[in-house]
Amino acid sequence: MADNRRDFKAKRTRPPAAGKEQGIHALYAADPAKADELTWGRRSDPVTRRGFLGQGGLAAMSAVLGASIPFAAYMPAGLIPAALAQTPEPFEIPGKDGLIVLNDRPLNAETPAHLLDDPVTPAKHLFVRNNGRPPSARQTDPSSWVLEIGGESAERTMRLSIDDLKRRFEHHSYRLQLECGGNGRSEFVPPAAGNQWSVGAVGCPEWTGARLGDVLEAAGIASDAVYVAYYGADTHLSGDPNKVPISRGVPLAKALEKESLIAWAMNGEDIPLLHGHPLRLVIGGWPGSVSGKWLKRIVIRDRVHDGPKMTGASYRVPCEPVAPGSQVPDEDMCIIESMPVKSLVTYPKSGIEHPRRETLALRGHAWAGDLRVARMDVSIDFGASWKRARLAPPKNRLAWQRWQAEVAFPQPGYYEVWARATDERGEAQPMVLPGWNPKGYLNNACHRIAVQVV
């Protein structure tokens, strides 16, 4: 195996019987033939017991393994490739370094906080969140990619190539913070189903593209328009081409903000395949699920969008506080919009030893959805007292903000450094878990790291 590939520890979000998402080992254990079909599109020959891979399935398996498969035609049906089967990890992620795989079907992985120390998040450290199966590299050729803009509240339907977008519309670059709505879900009690994110489903790369609003206006926005939504080229986990894995949207006003982009570049390079190559939406400050990847179609709606993952409890929280463990009717759930104020300690790594006579330098990032962060504080005494940290302004609106501080410890022992951000409206991170909700969204409790002072 190449030297630049790293090991990734796997955590199962829930047992297979508890929901649709499960890892590849559990999937094959339940029904190898069905697993073949769902994972790779490989169908079994009942006589020879061989599996037949179509071009798309072969491309997907080759991408995961990092090489072509010369004798793919002879691979037995229901066989997990040895590169995946001989390790407890589901598989390694090409182009990623140090991420923790939470689920391998669909692929979801988070970044340990100390690897998010860069002011601009590099591709290798950006979390991965999928709802379906990504298209293959062969299916994402920029030269043949076409984006359609339409919908009942569009005055005309437009079809644009990526060259059209680059030629017809002004280019803009912004650092935009993206965070999964379920970031921090693992801390809720009672537990909420879904990927058990800790704190690392967040990042702030620099994105380049055309303003979504400019493209919408070129298509014509009818007077009854209220919502803008997307459809991507990812496919449903069931393999059913008539099912859409996710299609979400935002109110028209959010879509028209100058920072909302149809992006073709990340950090000055083509967007990586896992992050939406060749085209994606980037709508900072709201749940990452509104920033659709592998963007194929944008619709201007005369109503709140009702695509998959927009209805029921998906990306919604109770409109009013509820007791932990409550059953909440769908009609009492409200769509998540701007994300809450939050922060991370990115240096040092949790669990370090530190000499008592030396001050400890701290740094990290803070963000607050659509708002700016106004203040940053740290504590070494479990929140009994707080020390003001230095807080830098954002590079642009909807980018996270860098903070720095130094602390001294009075004596040897175990300490926790807590970080607390306060937004421009005076809302501060809670020291304990915020209001429980059925899907485990919006946990913005103070981030904590452990320090052993010696």
CATH number, domain with residue 404: 2.60.40.650
Share of the chain above pLDDT 70, in %: 80
Domain edge (last residue) among 335, 363, 387:
335
Domain count, the chain: 3
Check residue 145 and give its pLDDT.
98
Q: Domain containing 161 — which CATH number?
A: 3.90.420.10
Looking at residue 91, its amino acid is F
Q: Are residues 287 and 229 in the same domain?
A: yes
Give me the mean pLDDT over the 27-46 stretch. Answer: 64
Q: Are residues 16 and 33 in the same domain?
A: yes
What span, in angstroms and rounded, lies between the C-alpha atoms of 323 and 365?
A: 31
Q: Are residues 421 and 391 in the same domain?
A: yes
More confident of the two residues 265 and 60: 265
What span, in angstroms and rounded, lies between the C-alpha atoms of 304 and 227?
A: 6
Q: Mind giving me the DSSP string for 304-365? A: ---STTSSTTTTEEESS---TT----GGGEEE--SPPPEEEEEES-TTEEE-TTS-EEEEEE
What span, in angstroms and rounded, lies between the C-alpha atoms of 179 and 406?
A: 27
Q: What is the pLDDT of residues 278-303, one digit of tens each?
A: 999 999 999 999 999 999 999 999 99
- For 436, the domain range is 342-453
Give me the mean pLDDT over the 427-450 stretch. Answer: 93
**Per-residue exposure over 181-219, b if at least 16 CB sit within 10 Å of its own CB, e if not:** bbbbbbbbeeebebbbbbbbbbbbbbbbbbbbbbbbebb
What span, in angstroms and rounded, lies between the C-alpha atoms of 380 and 378?
A: 7
Check residue 103 and give its pLDDT.
84
The phi, psi pair for 52, rounded to 5°, reads -105, 115
Quote the mean pLDDT of the chain. 87
Share of the chain above pLDDT 90, in %: 72
Whether 405 contacts 389, CB under 8 Å = yes
What span, in angstroms and rounded, lies between the C-alpha atoms of 5 and 1?
A: 7
Check residue 377 and give its pLDDT.
98
Check residue 271 and give its pLDDT.
98
Check residue 189 and give its pLDDT.
85
What span, in angstroms and rounded, lies between the C-alpha atoms of 46 and 33?
A: 10
In terms of phi and psi (left: phi > 0; alpha: psi -120 to 50; beta: otherwise), the region of 184 is: left
Whether 344 contacts 419, CB under 8 Å = yes
What span, in angstroms and rounded, lies between the C-alpha atoms of 106 and 234?
A: 11
* Percent of the chain as helix, strand, coil, to the nearest 5: 20, 30, 50
Give me the mean pLDDT over the 126-143 stretch. Answer: 95
Taking Cα atoms as reference points, which of 189, 250, 115 lies closest to residue 443?
A: 189
Give me the mean pLDDT over the 334-357 stretch. Answer: 96
Taking Cα atoms as reference points, which of 79, 76, 99 lies closest to residue 89?
A: 99
Give me the mean pLDDT over the 13-35 stretch. Answer: 51
Whether 59 contacts 135, CB under 8 Å = no
Q: What is the pLDDT of residues 298-318, one digit of tens each?
A: 999 999 999 999 999 999 999
Q: Are residues 346 and 299 in the same domain?
A: no
End-to-end CA distance of the chain: 40
Kind and range of the H or E run holding 206: strand 206-211
Q: Are residues 324 and 390 in the same domain?
A: no
Residue 163 neighbours by CB distance under 10 Å: 11
More confident of the two residues 82 and 324: 324
Give me the mean pLDDT over the 422-448 stretch. Answer: 94
The answer to whether residue 125 sits within a structural domain is no
The answer to whether residue 123 sits within a structural domain is no
The answer to whether residue 121 sits within a structural domain is no
* Residue matched to tokens 């493209």: 215
Classify residue 239 by burial, with Cβ atoms within 10 Å: 0-12, 13-18, 19+: middle
Q: Are residues 160 and 267 in the same domain?
A: yes
Give me the mean pLDDT over the 252-278 stretch. Answer: 98
Q: Are residues 274 and 206 in the same domain?
A: yes
The answer to whether residue 122 sits within a structural domain is no
Check residue 426 and give its pLDDT.
98
> Is it the case that residue 368 has pLDDT exceeding 50?
yes
Classify residue 52 by burial, with Cβ atoms within 10 Å: 0-12, 13-18, 19+: middle
Q: Are residues 447 and 392 in the same domain?
A: yes
The answer to whether residue 195 sits within a structural domain is yes
- Order of all β-strands in the sheet with 390-391: 342-347, 360-367, 401-407, 390-391
Q: Are residues 39 and 82 in the same domain?
A: yes
Domain edge (last residue) among 57, 75, 93:
93
Q: What is the pLDDT of residues 62-77, one digit of tens each?
A: 555 544 454 466 555 6
What span, in angstroms and rounded, lies between the C-alpha atoms of 28 and 50?
A: 16
Q: Are residues 196 and 300 in the same domain?
A: yes
Check residue 88 and give its pLDDT.
41
> Is it the case that residue 250 has pLDDT exceeding 70?
yes
Q: What is the pLDDT of residues 77-114, one digit of tens each?
A: 665 554 454 444 445 688 899 998 888 889 899 999 99
Q: Are residues 320 and 407 in the same domain?
A: no
The answer to whether residue 176 sits within a structural domain is yes
Whether 342 contacts 367, CB under 8 Å = yes
Would you place residue 14 in the very low, low, confident or very high pLDDT band (cuts 50, 70, 90)? very low
pTM, to two decimals: 0.81
What span, in angstroms and rounded, lies between the C-alpha atoms of 128 and 373?
A: 25
Check residue 19 and give its pLDDT.
38
> What are the angstrom distances between the C-alpha of 157 and each of 11, 78, 141, 294?
44, 45, 23, 19
Taking Cα atoms as reference points, which of 117, 101, 72 lies closest to residue 196?
A: 101
Q: Are residues 184 and 250 in the same domain?
A: yes
Check residue 124 and give its pLDDT.
96
What span, in angstroms and rounded, lies between the C-alpha atoms of 23 and 102?
A: 9
